[in-house]
Structure 1
Amino acid sequence: MLANQRRSQILEDIRRTGAVRVSSLVESLGVSDMTVRRDLELLAQEGLVVKVHGGALLPGGRSAEEPGFAAKSGRQNAEKRAIAAEAAKLVEPGMAIGLSGGTTTWTFARRLRDVPGITVVTNSVQVADLFSHQPRPDQTVVLTGGIRTPSEALVGPFAVAAIRSVNLDIMFMGVHGMDVRNGFTTPNLVEAETDRAFVDASRRFVVLADHTKFGVLGISTIASLEAADILVTDSGLAAENQAALRERVGDLVVVEVNPAEHTDTAEYDVPADPPDRPE
């Protein structure tokens, strides 16, 4: 394989999985550690990747950078819908469930509007708004108070106090990133505290995260990988990353993504981010 072909393959792997490790590239490409590191250095100089200890990530993944709700809504939509369809199988009538903020949980919430007798506790403005458009008398939606983040989640002491007053059968959480060493992370320090309260309030902890979240690192850890009873992700996740997760999470569920089955974008139109609020 020529050098340019090798670097193209490395770049394709990073774009597909979100991150790569030097050791994995050495094995898959059949070249030396030095060659891989030199390739990553050249790709980093071109601004195509960001080098980290032991590997490389896609650029733009700053640990404290928090995209808005609408910005995230255009990413991996087919994957989010496939994950949502699978996760909905875990919800039964009469359950009390928690839903964190984010576009993945918002997509998942659409699957729950016809489930009778559930109580939904959420700190997501968008999730609560979704249920309010088609209210059912046999469903209860509890929206925590708190300070709104760019991701349209309510966080802080008011949110934490509300969450600590409930007992949930299952908590469904979207995350900014997941990493073998650092677990599930978020770019918002206060949101991490609110998410940890959700984990503590639930009997089962389920994470919904597409393959691009692997290797992404937020500034604050919500929970270790081992804390997740179930992690639902998609088949875009590289085999070696699936293996690493299977060793740590309670149950890894990998769903196949068929974009042809998820082409009805009108139903999933996401509200735009609100205008900037005065300080």
Structure 2
Amino acid sequence: MLGTVLAHQRQELILDAVRVHGGARVADLVDRLGVSEMTVRRDIAELSRQGLLARVHGGAAALGRSSEEPGFAAKSTLRTAAKEAVARAALRFADAGASVALSAGTTTAAVAAQLRSVPELTVVTNSPRVADVLHEPGSGRTVVLTGGVRTPSDALVGPVAHAGLAGLHVDVLFLGVHGLDPRAGLTTPNLLEAETNRALMACAARVVVVADASKLGVVGLASFAPLDAVDVLVTDDGLAPEDRTVLAEHVGDLVVATTSPPQDPEDHL
């Protein structure tokens, strides 16, 4: 009986982690629960059998309809440290005086905050929140906001957005995604956003996808590009080593940002 209770408690903790973060890695659950990897995988398999979560490569993910689109406010409280680390690492791909595009999303909003330190940028975005972050009279930045229909994630999408992007050519696009998967590629739960993301990619000389590790294995309703269309993927060190290997085989360049600052200055060397 004691073993049954303990298993139930473990599984409740796993479900809690998945509900809060949208997913959980086996390695993190091993550390949190103080049990073996085999035990965690067995618990995940049981919870998946009960239809309470989805088994994914390296862990578990929350069940959800592929068309379910979380709002910006809900996503903005999740994995904030990882998103900030990704944003800092992505900054190297924006040079002074460059033209950049940013899609909508909480990670691209974090990138926008970092871009405030880069002088003389011309910015194109379909995100009112990104535009608000970067709009600053006298800064030397030019911010162009597309029109369009607003989604729950605060993206402006649809024909008006596409018309605003037509004929534009930017040096780099910072692209946020709902999910990425080796087979499904880059995905979103919103069909109109999928089309707008394709339009953003079409106008960029370089595509830099910014996505924290929890996005791996998440598949939304619509695929809008394969992984090999990604020039650079910037993610965080929550990504399991085996997942890094898989992604590195598909994208042009994989950058893994360190979430926690190094303890020793020599770590920078």
How far residue 8 of structure 1 moved from its aligned partner, in angstroms, is 5.3
Equivalent residue, structure 1, for 2:267: none
Give the TM-score of the pair, scaled to structure 1. 0.78
Corresponding residue to 2:74 among 66, 71, 76:
71
> What CA deviation, in whole Å up to 9, does each residue of 1:223-269 have, x standing for no partner?
111000000000101111111000000000001111799xxxxxxxx
Equivalent residue, structure 2, for 1:42: 46
> What CA deviation, in whole Å up to 9, does each residue of 1:184-213 have, x standing for no partner?
110100000000001111000000000000
The 3-state SS of whatever aligns with 2:115 is: coil
Corresponding residue to 2:222 among 183, 207, 220:
220
Following the alignment from structure 1 to structure 2, what is the Cα–Cα distance between the partners of residues 260 and 153? 35
Equivalent residue, structure 1, for 2:128: 125
- The letter of the residue matching 2:254 is L
Following the alignment from structure 1 to structure 2, what is the Cα–Cα distance between the partners of residues 60 and 248? 26
Please list every run of 5 or more consecutive structure 2 residues that lacks an aligned counterpart in the other structure. 27-35, 264-269
Which structure is higher in RCO with an 8 Å CA cutoff and minimum separation 6? 1
> What CA deviation, in whole Å up to 9, does each residue of 1:97-152 have, x standing for no partner?
000000000011001113111100000010111223x3335210000010000111
Q: Please tell me whether the aligned partners of residues 22 and 62 of structure 2 are also in contact (alpha carbons under 8 angstroms).
A: no
Question: Superposed, which structure 2 residues align to 1:141-160 within 5 Å?
Answer: 141-160=143-162
The 3-state SS of whatever aligns with 1:216 is: coil
Q: 1:153 to 1:17 in 2, by over 3 A?
A: closer
- The letter of the residue matching 1:227 is A
Give the TM-score of the pair, scaled to structure 2. 0.81
Q: 1:148 to 1:259 in 2, by over 3 A?
A: farther
The 3-state SS of whatever aligns with 1:104 is: helix
- The letter of the residue matching 1:234 is D
Question: Superposed, which structure 2 residues align to 1:109-258 within 5 Å?
Answer: 109-132=112-135, 134-258=136-260
Equivalent residue, structure 1, for 2:106: 103
> What root-mean-square deviation, in Å, do the aligned CA atoms of Structure 1 and Structure 2 show?
3.2
The 3-state SS of whatever aligns with 2:209 is: strand
How far residue 164 of structure 1 moved from its aligned partner, in angstroms, is 1.7
Aligned residue pairs, count? 246
Sequence identity, in percent?
48
Please list every run of 5 or more consecutive structure 1 residues that lacks an aligned counterpart in the other structure. 22-27, 262-279
